[in-house]
Amino acid sequence: MSSGGDGRVVVVTGGTRGIGLGIARELLGRGARVVVCGRTPASVRDAVATLGSGDQVTGLAADVADRASVQALWDHAVGTFGRVDVWINNAGVSTARAPLESADPGEVDTVFAINVHGVINGCSVAVEGMGAQPGGGWIWNMEGLGSGGQIQPGVAVYGASKRAVTYLTEALIKEQKGTDVKIGFLSPGIVVTDLLVGDYAGDPEGFAKARRIFNILGDRVETVTPYLVDGLLKASKSGTRVAWLTTTKAATRFLTAGFKKRDLFAESA
């Protein structure tokens, strides 16, 4: 399989901003046809207008935590382009960093509704739909802090949700073994988005401490997404993990940090 989009139809949940919007843009640049979803019609309209690729891109407001809404997204993609070749479960939210006992119960529910139930819904709808179409398709789930067992204080809820996504993905790979539906992991590493910065809402001191590490290990959306898209488009084996921030890359960043000064947040301002 080549690294080009080849007209493949790709659904990107949470595709109206951040990493999702960056992935959609890169896919379009490689000849794919793209369907994005966001939580509101306005966000979808703005994203489609920003992507500006005429009849190659469409979108629909959808609540990934609601199975019927996700099914409507699939139906919209098939109704527009005839099929879905790739489904990317990218939509995700976090909470402000705080000890677990201080986490707002409503925010906890929202994190798991979107990060876990949303991925379950996306996988379920895509597996059923791809299993019924010639050639099957690919499902990609987005990893994050906690997916690999990383533990940090203040992010217990988000980390637990991402750990759940990794287990879910591993289980789905086994369930779909021998079928035409392939499953993969997307691991973007530390990317400067509103989701990352929002983790430190109300904690400027904590952000000041974390900023140094982010500037060593982090990257901007436009740096990471081309790599992720190239990797997912050329993948051929179920279980593939497309990871931007590898252990070797992280070690190299720390070793050279004294010689390469970076301020990702100033550049994004």
**Would you please indicate which residues are annotated as catalytic (active-site) residues?**
158
Query: CA 269 → CA 50, 70, 178, 202, 265, distances in Å?
Result: 19, 34, 48, 19, 6
Distance of CA 177 to the CA centre of its chain: 23
C-alpha 114/C-alpha 79 separation (Å) is 25
Q: Which of 183-222 are b and which e, b meaning 16 or more Cβ less than 10 Å from the residue's Cβ?
A: bbbbbbbbbbbebbeebbeeeeeebeebbeebbbbbbebe
Total residue count of the chain as it appears in this document:
269
Q: Which of 112-145 are b and which e, b meaning 16 or more Cβ less than 10 Å from the residue's Cβ?
A: bbbbbbbbbbbbebbbebbeeeeebbbbbbbbbb
C-alpha 152/C-alpha 45 separation (Å) is 37
Helices (H) and strands (E) in the chain, counts: 11, 7
C-alpha 209/C-alpha 79 separation (Å) is 49
Picking from 12, 31, 150, the residue whose alpha carbon sits closest to that of residue 86 is: 12
